[in-house]
């Protein structure tokens, strides 16, 4: 069932084809530029053509392409599994753990975990939900269970809470809950409001501790719970309500960059 938010959404043509499970966005772009896609009976010549579901008619090699039903799944990602569809090395991905019908429906992971990490994964083919859950402006908290070499003392904890500099800019923890320190090993929970590539590992490295094990146990109001490693399930009713609440929240406008010409006087 499509939500009111999804119903009104307009897609770029390559994004629409990916959402329909036809191909990845990159492959869809190749199909479009190869002259294999039509929109409302006319040959599509650009992947950026805007398509409105249930209003525009899209065909690939003459065959009608339509949106698949909304799908959202909760998975316990094991270590040693990629979140991307394919990295060219033949390594196993989370999509190998799913029935083919879900993969063909254009499902994508929300908030990726790196190859060496495990834990909660949310997968969906709802583009708006994907964007709202991942975007930093939404401040949807992610909670990680961390085992690290090094003592999580007051100084290091404060450093992570105040923020450390990564190549993308400042990254900071929203909360740190130290659970156990034994010898030179610290176990703690760390909460973030956004997700950059290997962010927890790089943040910890900046304050002098090495992450040995990393597991995401919560994303917003979705919890990993007792779900076995490598298994997936459909969302519970309260989790579905959380997703709909995320979709109903007004979008935050990005602040405009100041115009250096505005307000200046000629001298």
Question: Backbone dihedral region of 139: left (phi > 0), alpha (psi from -120 to 50 degrees) or beta?
Answer: left
Burial class (CB in 10 A: 0-12, 13-18, 19+), 54: exposed
Contact 22, 68 (CB under 8 A): no
Q: Which residue ranges make up each domain of the chain?
A: 4-65, 68-139+225-250, 141-219
pLDDT score at 195: 85
Contact 13, 37 (CB under 8 A): yes
For 17, the token pair is 């084809």
pLDDT score at 143: 98
pLDDT score at 86: 72
Contact 56, 40 (CB under 8 A): yes
User: Rounded CA gap, 174 and 141, in Å?
Assistant: 8
Angle between the N-to-C axes of helices 127-134 and 237-248, in degrees from 0 to 180, rounded to the nearest 10: 80
pLDDT score at 8: 52
User: Rounded CA gap, 97 and 89, in Å?
Assistant: 17
Indicate the fold that domain 68-139+225-250 takes in CATH.
Answer: Alpha-Beta Plaits (3.30.70)
| pLDDT tens, N- to C-terminus, the chain (267 residues) | 444 444 457 889 998 888 787 777 788 899 999 999 999 999 999 999 999 988 999 999 999 998 878 899 999 999 999 998 777 788 999 999 999 889 888 888 998 899 999 999 999 988 788 888 988 888 899 999 999 999 999 999 999 999 999 998 999 999 999 999 999 999 999 999 988 889 999 999 999 999 999 999 999 999 999 999 999 999 999 999 999 999 888 776 544 444 544 444 444
**CB under 8 Å to 267, separation ≥6 — which residues?**
none
pLDDT score at 1: 46
DSSP, res 220:
T
What is the secondary structure of 114-176 as a DSSP string?
-TT-EEEEEEES-HHHHHHHHSGGG---EEEEEEEES---HHHHHHHHH-EEETTEEE--SEE
Strands 210-219, 118-124: pairing kind: parallel
Task: Give the 3-state secondary structure percentages of the chain, helix then strand then coil, rounded to 5.
Answer: 25, 30, 45
User: Rounded CA gap, 121 and 216, in Å?
Assistant: 8
Q: Which residues are catalytic?
A: 114
Q: What CATH number labels 141-219? A: 3.30.2350.10
Class of CATH domain 4-65: alpha beta
């Amino acid at each position: 069932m499509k939500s009111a938010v999804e119903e009104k959404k307009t897609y770029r043509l390559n994004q629409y084809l990916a959402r329909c499970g036809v191909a990845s966005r990159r492959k869809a772009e190749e199909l479009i530029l190869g002259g294999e896609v039509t929109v409302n009976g006319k040959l599509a010549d650009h992947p950026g053509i805007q398509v409105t579901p249930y209003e525009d008619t899209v065909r690939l090699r003459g065959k009608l392409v339509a949106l698949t039903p909304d799908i959202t799944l909760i998975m316990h990602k094991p270590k040693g599994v990629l979140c991307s569809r394919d990295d060219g090395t033949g390594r196993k991905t989370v999509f190998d753990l799913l029935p083919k019908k879900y993969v063909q429906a254009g499902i994508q992971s929300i908030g990726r975990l790196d190859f060496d990490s495990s834990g909660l994964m949310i997968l969906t083919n709802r583009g708006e939900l994907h964007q709202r859950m991942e975007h930093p402006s939404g401040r949807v908290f992610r909670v990680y269970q961390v085992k690290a070499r090094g003592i999580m003392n007051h100084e290091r904890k404060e450093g992570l809470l105040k923020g450390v500099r990564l190549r993308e800019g400042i990254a900071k923890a929203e909360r740190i809950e130290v659970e156990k320190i034994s010898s030179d090993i610290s176990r703690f929970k760390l909460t973030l409001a956004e997700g950059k590539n290997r962010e927890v590992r790089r943040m910890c490295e900046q304050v002098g501790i090495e992450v040995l094990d990393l597991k995401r146990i919560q994303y917003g109001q979705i919890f990993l719970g007792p779900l076995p490693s490598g298994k997936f399930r459909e969302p519970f009713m309260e989790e579905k309500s959380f997703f709909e609440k995320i979709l109903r929240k007004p979008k935050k406008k990005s602040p405009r960059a100041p115009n250096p010409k505005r307000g200046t006087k000629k001298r």
